Amino acid sequence: MGRYVLRRLLQFVPVFLGTTFLVYVLVWTVPGDPFAGMCGDRACPDEFVTAMRTKFGLDQSVFVQYFQYLGRFLSGDFGQTYDNLSIGEQIGTAYPTTLRLAITAVAIQIVIGGVAGVLTGLRGRGYLDNLVLVGTLCLISLPVFVTGSILQLVLGVDLGIIDPTVSADASWGELIVPGFVVGSVSMAYVTRLTRASISENRRADFVRTAIAKGQPRRRVVGVHLLRNSAIPVITFLGTDLGSLMGGAIVTEGVFNINGIGGLIFRNVAEKEGYMVTTIVTLLVLVYLIMSLIVDLLYAVLDPRIRYD
């Protein structure tokens, strides 16, 4: 296991360098002057633009810029925006909210989607199976902003069960409905994926063997069937958690959540290249770590999988 983890960590190096360099080049080659709107309606003086380009290293080649940026990033210096605001402080303020939203969404996916998938997979075709399939199809078909707007209007405005917008603190309770919205499509996929995996594995040889040995149904389902059926679901949830931690721009906008999604949107519009690059670089690290955790969970769920 240790050698496998070390090998995977070494594989992360070229992946991290390649993806972050590509992101850096794409961000800094976007047409437009990032300093164009800093002087109001009038054009900025050439001396000011030159000084700003020198300050942020934009007068050097893209390779020099990238490695200088990477060195500062790895040392924990995320730098400043063009308005001299700390990038680290802004990310530190927004990321905990997005992290709570992502965890809430994944928890809802596991509880609702997983339970519905297990029940329909065990029972087979019937009224419940048809109801779940139709419900998941509706969730997949509806855009997220439509689901969010409907729940905000019905639960927040008409019934008054929730606040239409989330407060600045964004407590766990306030994030339940936004978490359901941002995870609704993935929850439908988790349900269908769990149902298909359970239906396939319930006829597998290891399940028939466990039943033939006289093991209780609860143990057959809980120990043998669920563990082996959870592998594709864990793979999906791991990648989905990585994407959710990148922020949900639409959902955060609907419920006025101050998270990473809104931060990315605002800084892309304002051409704040360093902020966008830093956030995306952090997301690359999140994806790499989540992929490693998912791979390690395979051996925990299925004892036949070993990493030599």
**CA nearest to 27, candidates 299, 300, 277, 281:** 277
58, 28 Cβ separation under 8 angstroms: yes
**CA nearest to 184, candidates 119, 237, 136, 132:** 136
Q: What angle do CA 140, 281, 172 make, to 5 degrees?
A: 55
Model pLDDT, residue 32: 65
In this prediction, residue 276 has a pLDDT band, given cuts at 50, 70 and 90, of confident
Tell me what the mean pLDDT of segment 4-12 comes to: 82
User: How many CB atoms neighbour CB 159 within 10 A?
Assistant: 9
Q: How far is CA 134 from CA 114, 128, 130, 182, in A?
A: 16, 10, 6, 19
**CA nearest to 88, candidates 307, 288, 263:** 263
For the chain, how big is the Rg over CA atoms in Å? 24
Check residues 17 and 6 and name the one with the higher pLDDT.
17
285 contact partners, CB below 8 Å, separation of at least 6: 16
154-186 pLDDT, tens per residue? 988 888 888 888 887 888 888 899 999 988 889
106 contact partners, CB below 8 Å, separation of at least 6: 183, 237, 240, 241, 244
In this prediction, residue 303 has a pLDDT band, given cuts at 50, 70 and 90, of low
* Mean of pLDDT over the chain: 83
Q: What is the DSSP letter of 80?
A: B
In the chain, domain spans:
92-264
Check residues 164 and 49 and name the one with the higher pLDDT.
164
Model pLDDT, residue 217: 80
63-119 pLDDT, tens per residue? 888 898 889 888 888 888 877 888 888 888 888 888 899 899 999 999 999 899 988
pTM: 0.82
**CA nearest to 113, candidates 196, 171, 175:** 196
Q: How far is CA 225 from CA 40, 121, 180, 206, in A?
A: 64, 11, 27, 9
Check residues 34 and 226 and name the one with the higher pLDDT.
226
Give CA–CA dist 259/52, Å, rounded: 28
In this prediction, residue 308 has a pLDDT band, given cuts at 50, 70 and 90, of low
Tell me which of 14-23, 37-46, 47-56 is least confident: 37-46
Tell me what the mean pLDDT of segment 5-9 comes to: 81
111-156 pLDDT, tens per residue? 999 899 988 888 877 788 888 889 999 988 888 888 888 998 898 8
Model pLDDT, residue 306: 63
Model pLDDT, residue 112: 92
Check residues 190 and 48 and name the one with the higher pLDDT.
190
183-240 pLDDT, tens per residue? 888 999 999 999 988 888 888 888 888 888 888 888 888 777 887 788 888 888 888 8
Tell me what the mean pLDDT of segment 279-294 comes to: 86
To the question of domain 92-264 being in CATH 1.20.950.20, the answer is no
